[in-house]
Structure 1
Amino acid sequence: MPENTLRFAVAQSTVRQDPTDADGLRASGAEVRRLMQQAADAGARLVHFTEGAICFPSKHIMSELGPDEIGPSDWSKADWTVLQDELDRITKLSRELGIWTVIPSIHQLPTRPHNSVYVVSDQGTVVARYDERMLSTTKLTWMYTPGTEPVTVDVDGYRFGLALGLDVLFPELFTEYDRLDADAVLVSYSTTGSSGNEVAPTQARGFAAANTYWISLAVPANPVAGVESSVIDPTGKVVAEGPADSTPGIAVTDLHRVEVSRIGREFRRRTRERVNA
């Protein structure tokens, strides 16, 4: 493998919506670990999963008034013990495989939890956590506490930014990662069974080209959505995609330094400095 190249895997996996269902949570965790093994076998140094990879809680299931009426979420119903155990198993496997894992889950708080993504190092340690900032009306009103800060993590000389959920629709978050010298942004986005899912990959391609960095878009294995997980290069071109039939699987590609990234970033920095002088 050429110097300054990082082999990378993006996964599309089954997303389940009931955090009270211990068996479902176990099944999700087992699938995540199977895909981690596939990524490691392919030589990947990092594997990136979708929002809800362990669970994407349904507003109907969690509503204290539900399931027919949406109201404040009753998070005491969630099986936090199993959720934590599955995360612990994932961190342990990261160490055994020597692979970095970017895995979304719910982060418990005394109040409403964060919708989060954890970065697990190849030593089996959670080294960073990003909390979704641009929450939907439902998430903000009834379900989660929003995050407040961008997060980056460095792996083998590459700097990765993190984005989650509806963050993918907000250009200012991606401009922020450009200013933080990210080489790539990892976007975890849970699609739905309704129309409009194609907006996320379109936005992601535009942000990759506008900021001249790589973007990984991890989505569920959801045939109804019509969207696959993908890796987008700094020109906005899709260079790897998950299984076209939207079944669980991974896509693997090599991230490398692209001259257009350096030139583009330097140009934007000089222009901003002149305009703001």
Structure 2
Amino acid sequence: MTQNGNLKRRVRARAAKTGESYTAALKHIRQTSPDHPEPEPKSVRLAVAQTTFYNDPRDISRLRASGLEMRRLMREAHKAGARLLHFPEGATCSPNKRIMSVSGPKEIGPSDWDRFEWAALREELDATRKLARELELWTIFGSVHQLTQPHRPHNSLYVFSDRGELVTRYDERMLSNTKISFMYSPGKIPVTFEVDGVRFGCALGMESHFPEIFIEYEQLDVDCVLFSTTGESSTAGPAFAVEALGHAASNRYWVSFSAHAPQSLTAPSGIAAPDGQWAVRCSADGTPAITVADIKTDPEHPARPWRRTARSDLYSHHQVNSDPRSDGRNVF
């Protein structure tokens, strides 16, 4: 902390002396000081997908269809030069709460996970893993993760590396009322991983409603958050999409927003840039698709370190101890 404070003082002193901007002065000092080498910008090509919505895990044919579609989009992403491909929540299958309910479909009750065709899912996961290795494509997708009885499964994001290895798994933490009451076990921790020096974090389901999830990833130095959600209809999509833009802008990092194709009529999948604007978006016609953008880091941009400073105890030292209700002046 002291070393960082000394660096800031040197930068401000040079900026005051030369008339340079803070960013220009920082760049000069890092170039001329072996103790503070200039950080290198990083870049990686990311593809984001929107897929067909499948919600019946009892239907083996639909589990097969979702796997085939995912692998078709993986090949498209590979042809587009992507290093990683980001899929929606429940890309393999997003089980319907009424289909799974022991008292359904009229009533929503505890899910009967014996109805899930787990063997077929494992076969599709293995085929996807093998193709990720063949294409040398990092592949991140939503799937239900089975746990031993009597524990409910997790709602998860699997991260397959370009070697076809499962390097990590993110389990949704902030579950909806139905999910926590009847369907899933919640996760416990944030998850990050790196591809070509670019650091990614994972979020899932309805977690875009919780800014603390995204602030936490900023504190973990991620460059991009991969947010996967569902999308059976187009009604909820706009709110999630707007939140993705807001998180990107307020935390000054990239956010990849992936949902199912039916939602694309109002909120297609896309990649939000750190300025809070869409860099790219999938087609808004309800069809499965991918789109691609180059995720680039900007270590010299001052906004992110300043916001960290602003979120610290910066302002308390400058606040005036006065009560506006007892101030005798009438200033409007």
Match of 1:211 among 251, 265, 273: 251
* d(CA) in 1 for partners of 2:132, 2:240: 28
Structure 1 residue 194 displacement after superposition:
6.1
Could you say which residue in structure 1 is the equivalent of 2:282? Answer: 242
- How big is the shift at 1:225? 5.3
Q: CA RMSD in A?
A: 1.8
Q: Which of residues 242, 251, 256 in structure 1 aligns to 2:291? A: 251
Aligned to 1:69: 107
Q: Is residue 79 from structure 1 mapped to residue 99 from structure 2 by the alignment?
A: no
Kept in 2, the 8 Å contact 1:39–1:250? The answer is yes
Question: What residue in structure 2 maps to residue 30 of structure 1?
Answer: 68
Measured in 1, the distance between the counterparts of 2:302 and 2:283 equals 34
How far does the alpha carbon of each residue in 1:162-212 deviate from its partner, in whole angstroms, 9 at most, with x for none? 000011111000000000000000000102326332100000100000000
Are 2:44 and 2:196, in contact at CA under 8 Å, matched by a contact in 1? yes
Distance across 1 between alignment mates of 2:116 and 2:254: 35
Give unpaired runs (5+ residues) of structure 2.
Answer: 1-40, 318-332
Q: What residue is the counterpart of 1:265 in the other structure?
A: 304
Instruction: State the Cα distance separating 1:103 from its structure 2 match.
Output: 1.0
SS in 2 for 1:222: helix
For each residue in 1:120-162, what CA deviation from the matched residue of structure 2 results, as whole angstroms up to 9, or x when unmatched? 0000000010001111110010000011111001111000000
**Equivalent residues of 2:234, 2:263 under 8 A apart:** no
Question: Counterpart of 1:69 in structure 2: which amino acid?
Answer: E
Matched, 1:59 2:76: no
- Range that drifts further, 104-113 or 262-271: 262-271
Q: Could you report, residue by residue, the CA deviation over 1:69-110 in whole angstroms, capped at 9, with x for unpaired residues?
A: 111000011011111111111111000000100011001012
Query: Which amino acid is 2:97 matched to?
Result: K
Question: Which residue does 1:183 correspond to in 2?
Answer: 223
**Deviation per CA, 1:221-247, whole angstroms, max 9, x where unpaired?**
105752200000001110111112121
The answer for the alignment partner of 1:89 in structure 2 is: 127
Is residue 101–residue 111 contact of structure 2 (8 Å, CA) maintained in 1? yes
Instruction: Report the Cα distance in structure 2 between the residues aligned to 1:224 and 1:97, rounded to whole angstroms.
Output: 27
Matched, 1:222 2:262: yes
Moved over 4 A (4+): none
In the TM superposition, residue 271 of structure 1 has moved relative to its aligned partner by 3.1
> What number of residue pairs does the alignment pair up?
275
Query: Identity percentage over the alignment?
Result: 49
Q: Which of 114, 139, 157 lines up with 2:197 in the alignment?
A: 157
- In the alignment, the residues of structure 2 paired with residue 223 and residue 206 of structure 1 have an alpha-carbon distance, to the nearest angstrom, of 19
User: Mind listing any 5+ residue stretches in structure 1 that lack a counterpart?
Assistant: none
> Structure 1 residues 204, 226: CA separation in 2 closer, same or farther (over 3 Å shift)?
same
Q: Does 1:174 align with 2:214?
A: yes
C-alpha separation in 1, matches of 2:264 and 2:256? 21
- CA distance in 2 between counterparts of 1:86 and 1:192 reads 22
Please tell me whether the aligned partners of residues 231 and 263 of structure 2 are also in contact (alpha carbons under 8 angstroms).
Answer: no
Corresponding residue SS for 1:198: helix
1:138 to 164, 170, 178: 178
